[in-house]
Amino acid sequence: MRTITLEEHFATPAFFDGPARFVKERAEKIGDRYTYVLDRLCDVGDLRIAEMDAAGVDMQVLSLSAPGVEQMEAAEAIPMASATNDYLAEAIARHPTRFAGFAAIPTSAPKDAVAELERRVGQGFKGAVINGHNRGRYLDDKFYWPILECAEALNVPIYLHPTPPPKPVIDASYGGFSPMVTDMLAGGAWGWHIETAVHMIRIVLGGVFDRFPKLQFIIGHMGEGLPFFFRRLDILPVATTKLRRPISDYLKTNVHYTFSGMNYAPTFLNMLLELGGVDRIMFSADYPYQSMQWASDFLRQIPASPADIERIAHGNAERLLKL
């Protein structure tokens, strides 16, 4: 069975000297897990492919690791996005059957982001990755709509990856603990999943999909909690939201969902139930932050038919990304 994973990360040495230098600093202070992640983020060659082979992963769709370029000044984000996309394009050229890519784009400069996305899709990239809010501004803000219009016109999805909430939210909701507890609670343990869910709801309520009805997003981590709230969100009636459809309709027709490190059967079953089938569920590992082997083992034992597992493993990604 062919397998394609969609939330798989890479980085460059320059990225770790810039917006992700905190990861490098943690690796130097703590070692162990952070060093492991750092080493694998920078490898888009033999080590990564060997670990893919060992876990039975045929292709990774790579994207620049969080925090991406979204928290940088525009003047710095534009060259950083271009340089990391060049780096990724070279890796794909070396291993075209093993790697594909989502382009990093400088959301703080929409005109430049559009040009970068058009250029990269022309080179074979499969869409864009956006790491959450841009310094507290969200994609429902019409400032960013040229990017969304471009993605719809190119018929490519946007992978909305988590990022920590804005600092005032971190201080209010996650402060008062040790720095490491606050950091992790506001991040991968809880906060950035909720942050991504809120961002996705804002995109819906902002009328993005009424304006760009063919636009498609992807979110990871079994839907960032959203499938548990589909019906609850529809407490907001159309008469109040002024949208064309209930909120849950957009979440079922304009959003796709990956596992990416949430390999839990009850969570999967809830998402399957709420989506009404597997057509929008796709396989991911969240490498190197999570184990590819763990993801592969989970894929092969999920409570679904062999035909549905095939669609999750590769068929849905092939259709959406034209692989």
CA distance linking residue 273 with residue 268, whole number of Å: 9
CA distance linking residue 223 with residue 258, whole number of Å: 7
Q: Which helix (H) or strand (E) holds 218?
A: strand 217-219
CA distance linking residue 70 with residue 121, whole number of Å: 20
* Residue 17 is a catalytic residue: no
Look at the domain 4-321 and name its fold: TIM Barrel (3.20.20)
How does pLDDT run along the chain (323 residues), one tens digit per residue?
999 999 999 999 888 887 767 666 665 655 567 778 888 999 999 999 999 999 999 999 999 999 999 999 999 999 999 999 999 999 999 999 999 999 999 999 999 999 999 999 999 999 999 999 999 999 999 999 999 999 999 999 999 999 999 999 999 999 999 998 999 999 999 999 999 999 999 999 999 999 999 999 999 999 999 999 999 999 999 999 999 999 999 999 999 999 999 999 999 999 999 999 999 999 999 999 999 999 999 999 999 999 999 999 999 999 999 99
Catalytic residue, chosen from 112, 140, 183, 286, is 286
Per-domain boundaries in the chain = 4-321
What is the edge-to-edge ordering of all strands in the sheet holding 158-161? 103-104, 128-131, 158-161, 217-219, 255-258, 281-282
CA distance linking residue 61 with residue 56, whole number of Å: 15
